[in-house]
Structure 1
Amino acid sequence: MTATIRADAATLAASYPTRHFRISHDLASHPLLQLPRLIELTKELEKDRFEYNSGKLQPNQKAEDTPLVDLTPEQVVSQIETAGAWMVLKRVESVPAYRAMMEEALLSIAKQLGYESLDGASFRDIEGYIFVSSANSVTPFHCDNEDNFFVQIRGPKFFHLFDNDDRSLVSEEMLESAPSKHRNLPYDPSFEARAKVYDLKPGEGVFVPYQVPHWVRTGDDYSISMAITWRSDAVVRRNKLIFMNAWLREKGYPQAAPGVNATLDGLKVAAYTAARSALEPLRRNETMRRLLRSAVFGKKANYYYEAQKAAEQKKAA
């Protein structure tokens, strides 16, 4: 079974990597992305690799008001037609078969860009996220800290994408990222005049550039989608900066945007790199990842455990 992503050559040359554009792919029938295999995948991933809640949200959903569902990850996927839920299975590249599929897909687009390897195309730090959503579900307005070839596998999906070069929609401070900051961002219906809406069907997709604001909704049937993401060296460096800015701001120290003070940026990157190198061996364990997030950022850093906790409490009762 092949895994190929395709883009119009002229569009690819004109728009990549700063502007969103439509793509096509042959992943819709891939056995790794069918519902029975995804049910099995919920048994293979660690607990912090799931995030799920009710799909009955709004683009401007406040994180603290997000309704949950009292199901286990396996139940969410197996009952997705009736669950009224939204779920993401995170970091699926940790399963070798999924990583191989993703690398094959990215290599196909790398060759269209004129490169013979993933590294040559700066497709590094590759991660995979699979979304399983009930009909008429919404993923609220947010930005992601990686580039992304988003592929639609099953059902309809509507991807509302924006450009934000002037930061009029999302400020530099809002773009700062840390485990204690929920990804949902403030949204106003007036933003929609600036949206490009991609109506995605199986076999179709969209390139989502780094930190471009967007929100997503499903149609009248349940949906399976996948985000095949990566980070170039430049993106990795910027992510270190916005992480440090978020952390320092939480401590009460206002921060300049990346690029304003090159010397200070360099010190922040060095500090992040040193700290992450020391902690990385511990982060290979799910329990330690959870403890480290709580120690550095407090209980808010583990907000995605709340749905699982609610399900476990109901089962115990």
Structure 2
Amino acid sequence: MGSLIELAAEGRGAFPHRPFALRHRLAGHPLFSLEKLVEVAGRMPSDGVEYNSGKVGIDQKPEETPLVDLPPTEVVRRIREANAWMVLKRVERFPEYKALLQEVLDGVARDMGHRDAGDAGFTNLEGFVFVSSPNATTPFHSDPEDNFFVQIHGDKFFHVIDNRDGTVVPPQAFEITPSMHRNLPYREEFESRATVFSMKAGDGCFVPYLWPHWVRTGDSYSISMAMTWKSAEVRRSNKVLFMNGLLRKWGFPQKPLGTNPALDSLKAAAYTALRAPIEPLRGSEALRNLIRGALFGRNANYYLAGRKG
């Protein structure tokens, strides 16, 4: 039995620097049935579920995002008519999803000539399941990890924008600041730089680290999964981006990542030292929210503010 994700020669040549299309064998998997996802939504901590109306703009202003007046389980159960967008975050907290994520990325690593995912440098494996109503939009944003995105049910149109020259999204916007919403300013002319993946069940795409993108669903409800990981280089970069965001929050704006490698190394070391005493506390949802709020203010938990249902 082959890998659950299939990479063509073109994809192997582009990885991990450019986006590309892929195929997978996860459509119809029981872990992605609506019944199973209703169960998962009910077992998630409140900061593990984010949802709102799917009737939003590509350049949606975060403070004007319409909400959905339903509890998470009902959003999933009624996704056909709920006009909603939802993400179930870090589903690898559940053993069955952790095992699937490991199986998929081990298979990809072996196809690339490695022993397994760890040998390929894939660490911090995380899974995000998206459940969206028909004709829903995910606004323009970027993510601080590499991502094999797989479409399980329905159609999805994934617009990935080339920002390698930094003229679409400025470096400051990539700083990791929990109090700053992930949505990014968008202009129609960005589409001249877009690679658009039109995906049905069984299709997918690779989204490289920090490549900005936006997404819309087709005329049926959609189920997708982002299978993410972080290389050693990405982990180090994220430490620097976090410190840059924290220092900017405290009134000390920083030059972009990579401008001063020696200073970046100091920031990465400072992050590691600051994180060590906090890490044991993050097992508690209440303490996670408290720590984010203490470091970044009341908006650090923006995805919980004003939640209905």
In the superposition, the TM-score normalised over structure 2's length comes to 0.98
Alignment partners' CA distance in 2, 1:243 and 1:118: 26
- What does the per-residue CA deviation read over 1:116-135, in whole Å, with 9 as the maximum and x for residues that have no partner? 11111111000000000001
Aligned to 1:297: 296
Aligned to 2:82: 83
- The answer for unaligned runs of 5 or more in structure 2 is none
Aligned to 1:202: 201
Identity %: 52
- What does the per-residue CA deviation read over 1:5-62, in whole Å, with 9 as the maximum and x for residues that have no partner? 0010x21332000100001111111111111000000122111000000000111111
Aligned to 2:5: 5
Aligned to 1:228: 227
Aligned length: 309
Aligned to 1:136: 135
Alignment partners' CA distance in 1, 2:276 and 2:44: 24
Letter in 2 for 1:266: S
Deviation, structure 1 residue 305: 0.9
Alignment partners' CA distance in 2, 1:303 and 1:79: 25
Q: Secondary structure at the match of 2:110?
A: helix
Deviation, structure 1 residue 306: 2.6
Letter in 2 for 1:6: E
Q: Secondary structure at the match of 1:83?
A: coil
Aligned to 1:265: 264
Deviation, structure 1 residue 98: 0.2
Q: Secondary structure at the match of 1:125?
A: strand
Letter in 2 for 1:4: L
Deviation, structure 1 residue 263: 2.1
Aligned to 1:112: 111
Alignment partners' CA distance in 2, 1:213 and 1:63: 17
| 1:53–1:307 contact (8 Å) kept in structure 2 | no
My pick for the range that moved more, 256-265 or 34-43, is 256-265
Q: Secondary structure at the match of 1:43?
A: helix
Letter in 2 for 1:283: R
Q: 1:2 to 1:301 in 2, by over 3 A?
A: farther
Q: CA RMSD in A?
A: 1.2
| 1:3–1:27 contact (8 Å) kept in structure 2 | no
Deviation, structure 1 residue 3: 6.8
| 1:147–1:231 contact (8 Å) kept in structure 2 | yes
Structure 1 residue ranges, 4+ long, deviating more than 6 angstroms after superposition:
none
Alignment partners' CA distance in 2, 1:12 and 1:97: 28
Alignment partners' CA distance in 2, 1:146 and 1:232: 8
Alignment partners' CA distance in 1, 2:133 and 2:35: 16
Alignment partners' CA distance in 2, 1:155 and 1:31: 16
- The answer for unaligned runs of 5 or more in structure 1 is 312-317
Alignment partners' CA distance in 2, 1:74 and 1:178: 29
Deviation, structure 1 residue 266: 1.5
Q: Secondary structure at the match of 2:256?
A: coil
Aligned to 1:124: 123
Deviation, structure 1 residue 307: 5.0
Alignment partners' CA distance in 2, 1:242 and 1:23: 30
Aligned to 1:315: none
Alignment partners' CA distance in 2, 1:73 and 1:46: 11
Aligned to 2:32: 33
| 2:3–2:108 contact (8 Å) kept in structure 1 | no
